[in-house]
Structure 1
Amino acid sequence: MAASKIPGWVTAELFEDLLKANVEGFSKVKSFKADSGSAAGENYATIMLRVNIEVELQGKSRGRSSRIKSDFPPLDGKSKPVSYMVKLPHQLEMFQEMMKRTNIFDIERTMYNQVVPEIEAIYEEVGVDITFGARSYDLKNAKTDYVALEDLGVKGFKNANRLEGFDQAHTERVLQKLAQWHAASAVRVTTKGSYTDILLDGLYKEENRPMMTEMMKGIGSNFVKSCPTYEGYEVFIDKVKALQPVLIDKMFDFAKVDPMEFNVLNHGDSWSNNIMFQYDAFGKIKEVYLVDYQLPKYGTVAQDLLYFLISSTKLEDKLSKFDYYIKVYHENLVEHLKILKYSKPIPSLRDIHLALFKYGFFGYTVATGVMAAVLLDPTDTASFENFVGDTEAGLAFQMQLFNSPRFRKHIQVIMPWLLNRGALDM
């Protein structure tokens, strides 16, 4: 992001209270730089900044209690580098319109400030130490909506390769983390009642229906246009065409919660770039964190499972190991529901598979939506505006999404699989 695009109010002064509270021995800011925190195509929904600050430290007798918890304890020397990630809203009219109806910044700050700590505390109560994501901070004089977070890169966290897709080791660790999150989120409802309204519906509020219909129209028609270039498209093209007029209705049907089923607070946006890994010296996965808690949705576990497994696993494993991966998830779910003494009936493996069949249509929306973005080579035309827009640039970008060689390989195996599972039926 060019320096001119960084909002003028993102300054050193904005972070001073935060630094005083979290950097042991803070004296003053020596240098401050804000830059883009993600390349084109790596983050669509928000603007991401990485803020790098060099902090000057006080002398040895700092007068600060050593018992104060510090995110950035002083090193030997007179200064220390500190960094944060800051998410800001797009200023596009379309995005602003969406924010009036569903403020994803309010949602994400609620998740980081209330829900994530609450979920972690549920494990603490039974003596299990599990962390689900980055620490969040308040910026008192921010001029727009924002989310401020610790920079996980400092702790060695990074994304795995989205283009290659996750191998079995990465996939199993993510499924374990999702199962841990789902288990505690279900327990939380039994002990504390329902989540707040802004977390229950996600984007699926009735007032969002016209906007979502408009946004999906172009994407849907461009996918239909691309289908004849896919090998074997003849078997599914009629069903795909028939789905287009009712796509949003079916998505809203999917979003309805059946109280007789096992329901959880889904992460809601569990694709590869929203999952970060920390590795040991031998390259083995030490820890997994989920990031981007802006689209949570209470309901069936099928949402997170279909979203993650279809969008982010490697092609060789995507379908051949699908049932095995559901078993891995279920084993972890059962283990953690038992650890947390879940008071309701624990879902069987069969229950989870039945949910995946019942809500299979959601897999189609993942394959023709987020999966296309995950598999696209880095490009400067990748943006929120082009992903959902009907401008000439937007239409060109959407055709690019559906016609990349990598996407073609995936969609040619996924569409027959969805068809054979009944996921494309009206």
Structure 2
Amino acid sequence: MDSSIVPIWFNTDYIQDALRSYLRDGAIKVVSYKASPASARGDNYVCILSRISVEYKSNSSKDIQSGSYILKATLNSESSCKVKAAFDSYGTYDHEIEMYHTQFPKIRDVLNKIGYCKDLVPKTVKIDHEHQSIFLEDLSAMGYKMANVRAGLDEIHAKVILKKLAEWHAASAVANAGRPGTFRNCDRGIFNKHSKAFDSYFNLNFEACARVVSSWEGYEAYGGKMIKLLPHFTEYGVRVMEPKDHHFNVLTHGDFWCNNAMFKYNESNQPVDVILFDLQFSIWASPTIDLHYFFHTSLMDDLRFNNTEEFVYYYYQNLRETLQVLKFSGKIPTLHQIWVQYVETAFYCIYSAVIAQPSMINEETEDASLNCLMKNDERSRRLRNAMFNNARIRRNLQRWLPVFDRRGLLDLQA
């Protein structure tokens, strides 16, 4: 089996043992399995993500049964060694395993007490600390589909996912109120004080964007401000991600964009449910960092510009309602307090719009890799130029940079 599709330790015996435990059937015998990439080139920079189709026998049925699963395992190729080292320094692999194994069950327990039966994240077949891997139910086999990140989410999709996020956030706040400090070790977000491993990624991409913006007629001043901001970029990012005593804090998703979610649709092709995944950057912080990231990476452009107030209000209504139903023992924040937090964490808009979204909707897949974007060679510069010359990114930046400037987000902070 190709080691770029599944690791060398993943085999029939491994699958069989996992299914016997998960399905609570010691008689299961795997007849065959097939593995294929579960993401396209350029869609996943971080890990091996494989779809595993399994046929197996069991005493519970005379017929051969089948199942589809997802294996998420760490990168192991030499070409990805720089990325692997960076994510190791963040502790993301172990953190995501801990999220599925220990932390998220606490959130599920809170919701189960009120009879909440929907899944927030995929069910895990096997969590493997030794191999830093997670074997999951395949959401696509359950009828869930991924939305089109390049098109952006419409209002219906946005509200379905914001409702689910609000329920997640509320349940985490209740879990922490019952046992303060439950999520205190969840502190390694995309920006964090523990590691500077991705500083080159942040800085090289921000600098490339500033250079391109400076070349646009009428936008030279914005490019100049971005250049002055560059030495402070990661410092300001860290400030945003740290929980504040005066904030209402929750366990955030931390990487909340549409490719980390799959939707289920009804007969009219309208989304009726969503399940979230990729929990490697989940941190205890203001819920507004998830909102900033989502709005500036995943919405249709006009919705992003015109409807964010409506979406914040919709999110807040669901957050408050869920906290009330869960009998939250703390003080439920007011809508005004959430807006104050939204303003105080607004620098995260800059990262989301200037660095995250361009790499997400990049159409130049030949050179696309996080490993490439962390370097400063000719191939890397070619990829960054393609990203920032993308017509949609140019339109968005030309629309949003004046807004960011009027909000003081391009100025140096005290």
Task: Give TM-score scaled by structure 1 length.
Answer: 0.90
What SS is found at the alignment partner of 1:369?
helix
The verdict on how the C-alpha distance between 1:296 and 1:143 changes in structure 2, with shifts beyond 3 A counting, is closer
- Does the CA-based 8 Å contact 2:122-2:275 persist in structure 1? yes
Matched, 1:276 2:277: no
Within 1, Cα distance between the matches of 2:361 and 2:194? 31
* 2:30 equivalent in structure 1: 29
* 2:408 equivalent in structure 1: 422
- How far did 1:130 drift? 3.4
Aligned match for 1:169, one of 140, 144, 156: 156
Q: Name the aligned partner's letter for residue 144 of structure 2.
A: F
Matched, 1:79 2:79: no
Matched, 1:202 2:189: yes
What SS is found at the alignment partner of 1:260?
coil
Matches within 5 A, 1:10-409: 10-23=10-23, 27-55=28-56, 57-58=57-58, 62=59, 78-91=63-76, 92-138=80-126, 144-209=131-196, 211-230=197-216, 232-377=218-363, 379-409=365-395
What SS is found at the alignment partner of 1:409?
helix
Greater Cα offset, 412-421 or 21-30: 21-30
Within 2, Cα distance between the matches of 1:321 and 1:203? 26
Please provide the CA RMSD for this pair. 2.1
Q: Identity of counterpart residues, as a percentage?
A: 27
What SS is found at the alignment partner of 2:33?
strand
Q: Name the aligned partner's letter for residue 50 of structure 1.
A: R
- Does the CA-based 8 Å contact 1:218-1:395 persist in structure 2? no
Cα distance per residue 1:137-183 (max 9 Å; x no partner):
3266x863212211111101111111110000000111111111111
Within 1, Cα distance between the matches of 2:114 and 2:217? 52
Cα distance per residue 1:318-358 (max 9 Å; x no partner):
11001111111111111111111112222122212211211
Within 1, Cα distance between the matches of 2:127 and 2:174? 32
Runs of 4+ in structure 1 off by over 6 angstroms are none
Within 1, Cα distance between the matches of 2:396 and 2:282? 26
The unaligned stretches of length 5 or more in structure 1 are 65-73
- How far did 1:255 drift? 2.3
- Does the CA-based 8 Å contact 1:373-1:401 persist in structure 2? yes
Within 1, Cα distance between the matches of 2:409 and 2:21? 52
The verdict on how the C-alpha distance between 1:102 and 1:195 changes in structure 2, with shifts beyond 3 A counting, is farther
Within 2, Cα distance between the matches of 1:128 and 1:376? 38
Cα distance per residue 1:180-219 (max 9 Å; x no partner):
111111111111111345413435443413x233332211
Q: Name the aligned partner's letter for residue 124 of structure 2.
A: S
What SS is found at the alignment partner of 2:186?
helix
The verdict on how the C-alpha distance between 1:260 and 1:93 changes in structure 2, with shifts beyond 3 A counting, is same
Within 2, Cα distance between the matches of 1:326 and 1:350? 11
Cα distance per residue 1:86-122 (max 9 Å; x no partner):
1122232222322442221211111112222211211
Greater Cα offset, 189-198 or 80-89: 189-198
- Does the CA-based 8 Å contact 1:254-1:362 persist in structure 2? yes
The verdict on how the C-alpha distance between 1:422 and 1:205 changes in structure 2, with shifts beyond 3 A counting, is closer
- How far did 1:273 drift? 0.4
- Does the CA-based 8 Å contact 1:302-1:359 persist in structure 2? yes
- Does the CA-based 8 Å contact 2:260-2:278 persist in structure 1? yes
* 1:3 equivalent in structure 2: 2
Greater Cα offset, 123-132 or 227-236: 227-236
Task: Give TM-score scaled by structure 2 length.
Answer: 0.92
Q: Name the aligned partner's letter for residue 151 of structure 1.
A: D
The unaligned stretches of length 5 or more in structure 2 are none
- How far did 1:272 drift? 1.0
Q: Name the aligned partner's letter for residue 320 of structure 1.
A: N
Q: Name the aligned partner's letter for residue 20 of structure 1.
A: R
What SS is found at the alignment partner of 1:82?
strand
Q: Name the aligned partner's letter for residue 243 of structure 2.
A: V
The verdict on how the C-alpha distance between 1:295 and 1:231 changes in structure 2, with shifts beyond 3 A counting, is farther
Within 1, Cα distance between the matches of 2:116 and 2:132? 34
Within 2, Cα distance between the matches of 1:378 and 1:33? 29
What SS is found at the alignment partner of 2:151?
coil
The verdict on how the C-alpha distance between 1:403 and 1:184 changes in structure 2, with shifts beyond 3 A counting, is same
- Does the CA-based 8 Å contact 1:120-1:129 persist in structure 2? no
Within 1, Cα distance between the matches of 2:26 and 2:154? 43
- Does the CA-based 8 Å contact 2:200-2:375 persist in structure 1? no
Within 2, Cα distance between the matches of 1:348 and 1:381? 46
* 1:68 equivalent in structure 2: none
Cα distance per residue 1:287-332 (max 9 Å; x no partner):
1111101101111112100000111000111110011111111111
